[in-house]
Chain A
Amino acid sequence: MEVRVQNIRKEFSRFPALNDVSLDIRSGELIALLGPSGSGKTTLLRLIAGLESPTEGTVYFGNEDASRKTVQQRNIGFVFQHYALFRHMTVLDNVSFGLTIRPAGRRPSKADIRKRALELLDLVQLSGLEKRYPAQLSGGQRQRVALARAMAVEPNVLLLDEPFGALDAQVRKELRRWLREIHDRTGHTTVFVTHDQDEALELADRVVVMSKGKIEQIGTPDEIYDTPNSPFVFGFIGQSNILPVRVENGQLWLDDRSIGVSATGEADGPAQLYFRPHDIELLDGCGGCIAGIVTVTRRVAGTRHVELDIGATHSKVEIELPPEKVTSDHSRIAFRPTRWKLFRN
């Protein structure tokens, strides 16, 4: 089901946690809310669920206004960071819970509930563990039970709050791939919150980057990574370098020299140049380039990271070079960004 969030504002005792946020989630989409802590991403998720109510604004499920409905009536599936399993119930009872508490009229028969719960446990690859108690499961297994439990009620939308946050790195990676598979098979509209950009970029159809209660950018992982539209997104997603430059007659200047990059159509004046460490080309001479003194080099997996000290302001810049390119400290390197963006204060 498609979910629309319209002009939502949320204040916690006068402190705005969300400020005029609007978001359209398409049916069947897997969408990530990405941002640092305090950016309002979890609040947005809880507002969609009905665990919080907006100070202003509306949430639509399809064409229906869901804002007036309680969390119980919204029929959503919510997966909590710390699983929130019912520890006195078996795995099977946990998964069946949402169906067994339905009023008699809407409740499936006992046999049907059991069948559905077992199917879901099969889907999350926990067949055979239905008689266990949560305490007898590993963290990854618990989170899979939590997901099965949330899906058992055929939710309008599946909401996951930092679903892998409490797991160790190895299990995280596995579950990430596996969640994508489950999503592709079941087709639930899914929203998940994360502060881990790798997770968001790898998993989601679209990523919503949030900061300070606002949406900074919405886009596919490629769009977010390749064309960040704000300094925040540029800085938050991946590695980036910032240099203070000047625009003069469509040319970029660092201190007293041109860096050989033309910015046609940009107004004159000071600006910040953003570029990624790997979006550069090395130059031999320096007619129009950025030149710096090597301060530190590090070998990171398949690339060599080089830190440079640039110009009179001693700005720090990090670039990535092929590993066979050996540089010694205090040597001089000239380069030019191939893909970059200008932002003004």
Chain B
Amino acid sequence: MTARTASLWQFRQPSVIPGFGLALGVTLSWLILIILIPLSGLAWRSSALGWPTFWALATDQRTVNALRISFGTAFAAALVNVVFGVILAWVLVRYRFPGKRVIDAMVDLPFALPTAVAGIALTTLYAPNGWIGSLLAPLGIKIAFTPIGIVFALIFVGLPFVVRTVQPIMEEIDKEVEEAAATLGANRFQTIRRVLLPGLAPAVLTGFALAFARGVGEYGSVIFIAGNLPYISEIAPLLIVIRLEEFNYPAATAIAAVMLVISFAMLLIINTIQAWSRRRYGYGA
């Protein structure tokens, strides 16, 4: 233990506060045991497949379609959430209206409500014989059991990510900045479009990325409403489950690896943009 603290001393700045060795020790052991070993198992398994096998599995038509559906619907849902999330955050920060506190609390519902519950509830609403679905069916609009249904489930799941990243940044907007724009002759629309929204861009981007990442991996809320038709409304996580149930571990591993690589690459890009924004403009999100 003493030897260990001595060696740690070199890579950290000296401090009178005790417990560094213990705290870092617990953190690293737990991290390695619970997260890193299992994840590296996945990495090892997929590299053990060999490139030709991996490529064949990853480019299988059903896999490609499932990935396309997962990423496509997650992208669409995140876009919808950006629009409505920004509006919702704006309304919550700027306006006063009855029930505002309740609405504000409700925004976190998707964080708190188990995804399976959300899934069956949304299906009940949007199925052709459901509360809303039955109103839309005569118009020829089908939501549940189509990719649109998936988008709807992912809108539910991703909404709080956008609202909760944008909201605090909006609250911090300096009233003086808006007044400055007005004194320079900008009308309200110009102030919002040219001054306020660009200032929110990093936060919006982060919210979008979080909602998108969550949507790509989402399983529970989607499988009930999706209809799960192979090639059409089958999401990648479901295909993994199906392959696992078939004991087709190589195929499951390949899909998982592709998903992880794309997700991590996205997070990396977002983080880079954030860091760049912070360096340049002195703020990020």
Contacts and interface: CB of A to CB of B under 8 A. Distances in A.
A134 B176 contact: no
Nearest to B280: A133
Interface string A115-137: 00000000000000000011110
Contacts of A133: 280-282
Contacts of A77: 183
B194 interface: yes
B157 to A, nearest CB: 30
A134 B283 CA distance: 11
Contact of A88 (B180, B182, B281): B281
Contact of B174 (A71, A82, A135): A82
Contacts, number: 79
Interface stretch (A7-15, A16-24, A97-105, A213-221): A97-105
Contact of B186 (A72, A76, A88, A146): A72
A98 B184 contact: yes
A297 B190 CA distance: 61
B283 A87 contact: yes
Given A84-B177, A97-B194, A98-B185, 7 more contacts: A72-B182, A77-B183, A86-B177, A87-B281, A102-B185, A134-B281, A135-B280
Contacts of A71: 179, 182-183
A72 B174 contact: no
Contact of B176 (A70, A82, A87, A152): A82
Interface residues of A, number: 31
Contacts of B199: 86-88
B187 interface: yes
Nearest to B202: A88
A101 B190 CA distance: 7
A236 interface: no
Interface in A57-93: 70-72, 75-78, 80-82, 84-89
B101 to A, nearest CB: 23
B25 interface: no
Interface string B273-285: 0000000111100
B282 A78 contact: no
Interface string B185-201: 11100100011001101
Interface of A: 49, 51, 70-72, 75-78, 80-82, 84-89, 97-98, 101-102, 133-136, 146, 149-150, 152-153
Contacts of B280: 133, 135-136
B281 A101 contact: no
Contact of A78 (B183, B187, B198, B281): B183
Interface of B: 174, 176-177, 179-187, 190, 194-195, 198-199, 201, 280-283
A310 to B, nearest CB: 48
Contacts of B181: 86, 97
A135 B185 contact: no
A102 B184 CA distance: 9
A49 to B, nearest CB: 6
B204 to A, nearest CB: 12
Contacts of B174: 82, 84
Contacts of A75: 185
Contact of B183 (A51, A81, A102): A51
Contacts of B195: 86
29 contacts: A51-B179, A71-B179, A71-B182, A72-B182, A72-B183, A72-B186, A75-B185, A78-B179, A78-B183, A80-B180, A82-B174, A84-B174, A85-B177, A85-B180, A86-B180, A86-B181, A88-B201, A97-B184, A97-B194, A98-B186, A101-B186, A134-B281, A135-B280, A135-B283, A136-B282, A146-B180, A149-B180, A150-B183, A152-B184
A296 to B, nearest CB: 43
A214 B183 CA distance: 26
Contacts of B281: 87-88, 133-135
Nearest to A93: B194
A124 B272 CA distance: 35
A307 to B, nearest CB: 43
Contacts of A135: 280-283
Please provide the 10 A-B residue pairs with the shortest distance between their CB atoms, ordered closest to farther: A135-B282, A98-B184, A84-B176, A78-B183, A84-B180, A80-B176, A88-B198, A84-B177, A71-B182, A101-B186
Contacts of B179: 51, 71, 78, 80, 84
Nearest to B198: A88
A53 to B, nearest CB: 13
Contact of B282 (A84, A87, A102, A150): A87
